[in-house]
Each structure stands twice: as structure tokens, then as C-alpha cells.
Amino acid sequence: MFWFDRDHPEALFCDIRDEEHWLTDASSPGGKRHLRIAPDMVADFTNLPFADNSFPLIVFDPPHLVKAGRNSWLAKKYGKLGRDWREDIASGFRECFRVLSANGTLIFKWNENDIPVSQIVELSPHAPLFGNRNGKLNKSHWLVFMKPAQRIEARSDETLQAARPEGQEPDGEADAPNP
């Protein structure tokens, strides 16, 4: 529902479902609304069929419902998490970061109708950089993560020294001037 151009040549829409439903909807002509879930590729977000570091940008929009009835229109439209939702979401985050390139961006969408976003964020191997909450009553969140490149701690002291401008010492390590 958030796509502006789902057919953009750089976009790849994956979902574990490829299905069609006619949903009861009193506000629609004939009392029915058509729902078509037609991904470009059927894929499970806990086991993505892509090589490591494949994408510079990923939007992760997993199902957020656990209490919806199996045949409810909400479950049909958004999907439904199972009993092992914590492990599924944690696996989804791991897979997204695995296929995301270094310094790549992960945009995560979550609706806390059934599960607070705070319980979801703790399942990610990385903390979000920023995000937003849409309105006071709307429980949808958009969070932005960045996959870190190699950490600077992995570099040797010689590499760090060579990277500093001449005469500059790291913070807190400068020698006091001699009187």
C-alpha cells in the first residue's frame, strides 16, 4: 500500500504469498473488495534467496498481526505471524542485514496493533538510526537502520595514525604542552 511505483525497474517485491481474495466490504460496490497479492518473487523473509551484500536498500514490512483470525480480512491483507514470531522477526532482521550491502539502508515498517515496536526493535542486531510515528492514534512506525561497514576498531593503530592529519592526536590523548 505504500508503493508509489511498484513497477520501478529497480524494485523487487517479495512476499511468501501469491494469492487473490474477494473480501466482504460494505463500502465497496457489490459489497466485495478485490485483494491481490502478486509479488515479483515468492520468498520467505526468514530465508532470502539472495547472495550476501546484494542490495543497497531494503524495505522490511513483515506481518504485524498475531491476534487476527485466520480468515479475517486483516490477516489476508497483511499476513499473520505464528507462535514463533520473535524468532521469525529476528531471522528476518538477520536475513535483511545479510543481503544488505555495507552502509546500506534498511527501512522497517511496523504497526504495533498487537506487539509494541519496543519488543520488535530489540530483535534487530542493529539499533535504528531514526524513525517516525504517524500521529497520536496511528500505531504505525517507520524506522531506518544502516548496515555498518567494517568497524574502525578492526584497523591497526598504524592505520589509524596514517589516516590522521599530521600532528593530530586522538581525542583525550594529546600531550600537554611543555612549559
Q: What is the pLDDT of residues 38-94, one digit of tens each?
A: 999 999 999 999 999 999 999 999 999 999 887 788 898 889 999 999 999 999 999
Nearest 5°: phi and psi at 78?
Answer: -105, -10
pTM of the full predicted structure? 0.78
Burial 139-165 (b: 16+ CB within 10 A, else e): bbbbbebbbeeeeeeeeeeeeeeeeee
Return the pLDDT at 130: 94
Return the pLDDT at 150: 67
Whole-number Cα distances in Å, 106 to 1, 22, 103, 157 = 18, 33, 10, 31
Using the predicted structure, report yes or no on whether residue 158 has a pLDDT greater than 90: no
- Higher-pLDDT residue of 117 and 71 is 117
Cell of 144: 531506518
Return the pLDDT at 151: 54
Return the pLDDT at 91: 98
Which residues fall within 8 angstroms of residue 96, CB to CB, at 6 or more apart? 45, 48, 58, 60, 106
Return the pLDDT at 133: 67
Percent of the residues in the chain that have a pLDDT greater than 70, as a whole number? 80
Query: Whole-angstrom Cα distance, residue 49 to residue 81?
Result: 21
Lowest mean pLDDT among 39-43, 77-81, 148-152, 156-160: 156-160
Return the pLDDT at 135: 57
Whole-number Cα distances in Å, 39 to 112, 123, 163 = 24, 26, 46
DSSP code of residue 35: E
At 101, the amino acid letter reads S
Question: Is 50-150 a CATH 3.50.50.60 domain?
Answer: no
